[in-house]
Structure 1
Amino acid sequence: MKETEIGLIPSDWDIKKIEPCIGIVKSGKRLPKGYSLSDVPNSHPYIRVADMMMGHIDEGDIKYVPEEVVDVIEQYKIYDNDVYISVAGTLGLVGKVPPRLNGANLTENANKITDIKCNQDYLMYWLMSNYIKRQIESTQTIGAQPKLALERIRNFLVPLPSTEEQNAIAETLSDVDELISVFEKEIEKKKNIKTGVMQRYLSGDERLPGFTSKWDIKSIDELCVLVTKQTGFDYSAEIKPSLVQVNYNNTLPFLQNKDFEGYKINFDTDFYIPISVAYKYPKILLDEVCLLISISGRIGNAALFNNDRSAFVGGAVGVAKFKNSDLVEWAMLYLLSPNGQKMIFENEKAGAQHNLTVEDVRNFSIPIPEKDERIAITSMMADMEKDICQLEEKINKYKNLKAGMMDDLLTGKIRLV
């Protein structure tokens, strides 16, 4: 091993800057003023940072360049033998375009590395490495929106083993990615099946064998003793100044709408509130089984708060405390079903971001079967959720494995035979 600017690497490896030694770094281009991207497919796709994932492009919402301005941005295309890296907004998203998007136009918020003189996948994985992540964190431009300058990418250092070893490292990491992809496709398949089951059985369109009794329809207001949210005044006057970022013994997790979904509650949050302050607001103190629903920003999200531990809610979260806590799980599942989602978004308020009012939540109607049928359906849904969670745990396991492999293989701590 030898000591270098990036740390210890094998003595037979080189270190080179991306430009001019590895490839050429070029920026993307925005549309000319007065033009907008189109949802109508044509032969000129446009890749935004929103479409970029680590390692690949999400093709689910690709936009297209209007025919009349194609020539203006013709030179800002990316090809399947290039590597992209996002340089504004979300920094450091790295990957390559699929063959279907070969020759797509690239956003001005990303750069491409073209004319690559080493293994393309090896370079891509190195740009995903913890070393490069630290470089990005230390060199990004601070402002309203963080940016990563073109010149800084050109000066990134790359450790270079022989071509044969580059190929072997890239192939090994690609194999792990392929395994992760298999699990992700299986999860997507199971989620689609789950959505279909929810549509049939939570709406009453299809009944489980042996059940024929008529369902009741109740509003959330009728089912609850309390439907409320945090007030802006309380937040500004006392709650916000009291928040801390460390989970001390005398604090409770401060749940935001990104911290819950379905059966999942993330108690390892960004902020915590002292118990002495939280207890002053018992209506939004989470110390019993209740329903959480996002009412600002990420609307459509709902969760069962199972009271494994106490917590406190942020301002974008509505809280519904039920007369009968046995109905909370059913109400959560219905709100997440296709019919429930339709009802939520029909009540969406226009504005800078998506919003619901507490009154909207109170008026939501929930169809409710008799207890035995309700238990049978919720048990079926819980089993499906368990299967999905087990697959997600496998994905996390392999992602952690891959992260360790990248650290070892890309710096030569472990050599492939």
Structure 2
Amino acid sequence: MSELKENVPKIRFPGFTDAWEQRKILDNVEEVLDYRGKSPTKFGMEWGNKGYLVLSALNIKDGYIDKAVEAKYGDQELFEKWMGERRLDKGDVLFTTEAPLGNVAQVPDDEGYILNQRAVAFKTNSRKTNNDFLAQLLRSPLVQESLNSNASGGTAKGIGMKEFAKLTAYVPTQVEEQTIIGTFFKYLDTLITLHQRKLSNVKNLKAGLLQKMFPKDGEDFPEVRFPGFTDAWEQSRLGEITSLITKGTTPLDKSGNGTINFVKIENIDSTSGEITASQKISIIEHEGYLRRSQLQEDDILFSIAGTLGRVTSVKSDILPANTNQALAIIRLKTGYLDYVKTYLKGKAVSDYIRKNPTIGAQPNLSLEQVGNLEISLPSEEEQVEVGTFFAQLDRLITLHQRKLEHLQEQKKALLQQMFV
């Protein structure tokens, strides 16, 4: 393949045909703002809880600033002493140099920020590139790969500016092409952020409703109810409404050959509860050694080892199936399935898990502890209303999650194909 063909991306906007040019990344940068090593105590001052937000590797995420994570602030005096004559302007590119390495975001506005530990900011030379393009270039697979291969350190990898200054990348020779690429990906980032917010809002709504639509500890009535229901809720133990609480074990044959789905915690999606069984066991083990843990439709699976409290139910499309000792099988004899699943995801159960795990090589709950778990039960009709409502909310969360993941995968693929 000719050099010309090697130095062009697979996908381009119409009207651009020139080969891309290899440059040092910092050739596109007018100024690097680097305040690493500073601390408020050097000025005889301290961080506060209001004023100018401090930007660091803690809150510079990939594509956005998380203003809620361990937020620190500096007052006007500290801001002036810290930043001096230099300021972070809207669009400046933020880059984390370690722990984590390689997160890229842009300054969202001109409100003023303090740049702190493990992060630097780049101001671009508008004659050679623009902020939006540089941000996407730093996120591109080849640049990220180059960062990691030139980083130092063990678990917490990092890169100094001396090493960073050696890094090169291919860029379009025309600033117009860079601008179009940068604008396109910025729009995609905005779309991703929009879906992230939608997902976060629905999750927060669910968390709030779980608090209000179930009785608080020691109470018999929830704060919020569907119309027409006024009776007190009753207390029961999970074992009293089930016909079976058991668990599986490890297959003797670990080859993975067979036709029976074998479900483990990692096969259960933490958001949707969807089961993706990748391991198989033989029909011989399913009918013999693992007979007690044969799964049936509508069985509840509840994780009791390692990751505690993950909940889902078995659908017919994964049957025949079996499971291991990290998942309790809960088979109801009374109670509405979606209601019981929702209750098991709520605060009362998470508090129970926090107070009762047996700590060994990994935290775990015994089947006896699962059976003794207290559950608040309204009438069967109210269980149906509450369970159906939260099942619909879970489906909405899953829908938003899938849309978000689809956009993120699209962006990942486009970064691979629209950069050299």
Preserved CA contact (<8 Å) 1:39 1:62? no
Assess if the C-alpha contact under 8 Å between 1:253 and 1:268 holds in 2.
yes
* Change over 3 Å in CA distance of 1:17–1:352 after alignment to 2: farther
Aligned residue-pair number: 392
SS in 2 for 1:226: strand
For residue 216 of structure 1, what is the amino acid of its counterpart? E
User: Are the structure 2 counterparts of residues 384 and 349 from structure 1 closer, same or farther at C-alpha, using a change threshold of 3 Å?
Assistant: closer
Report the counterpart of residue 217 of structure 1 in structure 2: 235
SS at 1:63 equivalent: coil
**Cα deviation 1:356-376 (Å, max 9, x = unaligned):** 644665543211223232122
TM-score (norm 2): 0.72
Q: Which residue of 2 aligns with 1:178?
A: 190
Deviations 1:295-320 (Å, cap 9, x if unpaired)?
65x65x53113253536458xx5525
| DSSP-derived class of the 1:49 partner | coil
Note closer, same or farther for the CA distance 1:12–1:262 as it changes in structure 2 (3 Å cut).
closer
Report whether the alignment pairs 1:121 with 2:129.
no
Cα distance in 1 for residues equivalent to 2:8 and 2:190: 29
1:386 maps onto 2:378 in alignment? no
What residue in structure 2 maps to residue 166 of structure 1? 178
Q: Deviations over 1:137-189 (max 9, x none)?
A: 54444734444454443213141342222222222222222223333333333
- Whose radius of gyration is greater, 1 or 2? 2
Structure 2, unmatched stretches of 5+, are 10-16, 216-221
Q: Which moved more, 1:90-99 or 1:51-60?
A: 90-99
Partner of 2:145: 134
CA distance in 2 between counterparts of 1:54 and 1:166 reads 20
Q: Deviations over 1:263-286 (max 9, x none)?
A: 4235267xx576599869849957
Query: Which of 395, 403, 408 is residue 399 of structure 1 equivalent to?
Result: 408
For residue 120 of structure 1, report the CA deviation from its aligned partner: 0.7
Over 3 Å counting, the alpha-carbon distance change for 1:106 and 1:324 in structure 2 is farther
8 Å CA contact retained: 2:22, 2:170: yes
What secondary structure, in the 3-state scheme, does the structure 2 residue paired with 1:334 have?
helix
Provide the C-alpha distance between the structure 1 equivalents of 2:94 and 2:373, rounded to a whole number of angstroms: 45
Distance 2:379 2:414 in 1: 52
Is 1:207 matched up with 2:225? yes
Paired-residue identity, %:
15
**Which of these residues, 72, 80, 97, is aligned with residue 107 of structure 2?**
97
Q: Is the 8 A contact 2:79 2:114 kept in 1?
A: no
1:368 to 377, 387, 401: 377
Residue pair 2:30, 2:123 contacting (<8 A) in 1 also: yes
| Equivalent residue runs for 1:238-277 within 5 Å | 255-256=264-265, 259-261=268-270, 263-267=272-276, 272=279
Aligned-residue CA RMSD (Å): 4.7
| 1:378 to partner: Cα distance | 1.3
Task: Return closer, same or farther for 1:42/1:257 CA change in 2, 3 Å cut-off.
Answer: farther
In structure 2, what is the Cα distance between the partners aligned to 1:113 and 1:277?
63
Going from structure 1 to structure 2, the CA distance change for 1:103 and 1:153 (only over 3 Å counts) comes to same
Q: CA deviation at 1:409?
A: 4.0
Aligned to 1:226: 245
Superposition deviation, residue 18 in structure 1: 1.3
The equivalent of 2:169 in structure 1 is 157
Q: CA 1:217/1:43 → structure 2, altered by over 3 Å: closer, same or farther?
A: same
User: Residues of 2 paired with 1:385 and 1:138: CA distance?
Assistant: 41
Q: Which residue of 2 aligns with 1:324?
A: 333
| Residues 192-228 of structure 1 deviation map (CA, whole Å, 9 limit, x = unaligned) | 3333443343433333334444433122344454366
Partners of 2:385 and 2:144 in 1: how far apart? 48
Residue in 2 that maps onto 1:287: 295
Contact 2:104 2:138 in 1 (8 A): yes
- 1:57 — aligned with what? 65
- Among 179, 185, 203, the alignment partner of 1:191 is 203
